[in-house]
């Protein structure tokens, strides 16, 4: 009996394949590749929104440092307009962060026998590709709109930034409809 029987690939591969099938996973199925791609795309979209939120937070910090100095005897209270602008930037950063988290929590079609019995997973995931393209494109547009911009530019561009956020929200709603009513 050779000493290297333990490293024989055939029985080890058979055990691994049996485990994969037992876990409901076969890495050669198209559905698994599409599901993994979907998760990767959502992770990248979330990353783009994370960069956008960080840029807005940095602009807010710079704005507060410049326009909201510590109180003094001459100016014991901050300028109300500056406070309102700083709060707008803060709300904007929170909105972007909440969308980032929402993208991370988006479901993909389940990989269980009941789902496979009543709907076809691959066509549903193929339909999600269009939504994923829109999602990533919109997240990148938002990131490019806010990154490396001063607070004044963000405040001046606030309506188009909020329109971008609304477009991403509607994209996520359409994605939910696809998952509820599969192809």
Position 24 scores a pLDDT of 62
* 8-state DSSP, 95: H
Q: Can you tell me the mean pLDDT for 166-180?
A: 90
Mean pLDDT of the chain: 85
d(CA 16, CA 138): 41
Q: Can you tell me the mean pLDDT for 64-77?
A: 92
**pLDDT at residue 5 greater than cutoff 60:** no
pLDDT band at 18 (very low <50, low <70, confident <90, very high): confident
d(CA 80, CA 77): 8
Query: Which two three-digit tokens encode residue 54?
Result: 């960080």
Residue whose C-alpha is closest to residue 131's, from 176, 97, 99: 176
CA 52 remoteness from chain centre: 12
Residue whose C-alpha is closest to residue 88's, from 54, 71, 66, 64: 64
* 8-state DSSP, 70: P
Q: Can you tell me the mean pLDDT for 54-60?
A: 97
Q: First CA to last CA across the chain, in angstroms?
A: 55
Residue whose C-alpha is closest to residue 103's, from 144, 48, 52, 147: 48
CB of 86 closer than 8 Å to CB of 63: yes
Position 55 scores a pLDDT of 98
pLDDT in tens, 87-130: 999 999 999 999 999 999 987 766 666 666 556 677 777 788 88
- H-helix segments, 68-150: 80-104, 113-118, 121-146
| Residue matched to tokens 């938002």 | 142
pLDDT in tens, 133-147: 899 999 999 999 999
Position 127 scores a pLDDT of 81
Residue whose C-alpha is closest to residue 178's, from 112, 134, 113: 134
Q: How far is CA 81 from CA 18, 64, 77, 112, in A?
A: 66, 12, 12, 55
pLDDT band at 6 (very low <50, low <70, confident <90, very high): very low
Please give the share of the chain, as a percent, with pLDDT higher than 70: 81
């Amino acid at each position: 009996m050779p000493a290297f029987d333990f490293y024989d690939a055939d029985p080890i591969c058979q055990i691994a394949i049996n485990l994969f099938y037992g876990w409901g996973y076969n890495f050669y199925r198209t559905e698994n590749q599409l599901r993994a791609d979907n998760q990767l795309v959502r992770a990248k979209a979330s990353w783009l929104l994370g960069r956008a939120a960080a840029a807005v937070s940095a602009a807010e910090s710079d704005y507060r440092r410049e326009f909201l100095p510590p109180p003094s005897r001459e100016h014991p209270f901050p300028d109300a307009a500056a406070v309102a602008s700083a709060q707008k930037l803060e709300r904007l950063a929170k909105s972007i962060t909440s969308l980032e988290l929402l993208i991370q929590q988006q479901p993909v079609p389940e990989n269980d026998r009941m789902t496979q019995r009543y709907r076809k997973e691959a066509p549903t995931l193929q339909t999600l590709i269009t939504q994923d393209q829109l999602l990533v494109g919109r997240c990148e547009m938002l990131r490019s709109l806010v990154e490396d911009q001063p607070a004044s530019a963000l405040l001046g561009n606030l309506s188009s930034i909020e329109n971008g956020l609304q477009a991403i929200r509607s994209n996520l709603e359409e994605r939910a409809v696809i998952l509820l009513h599969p192809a």
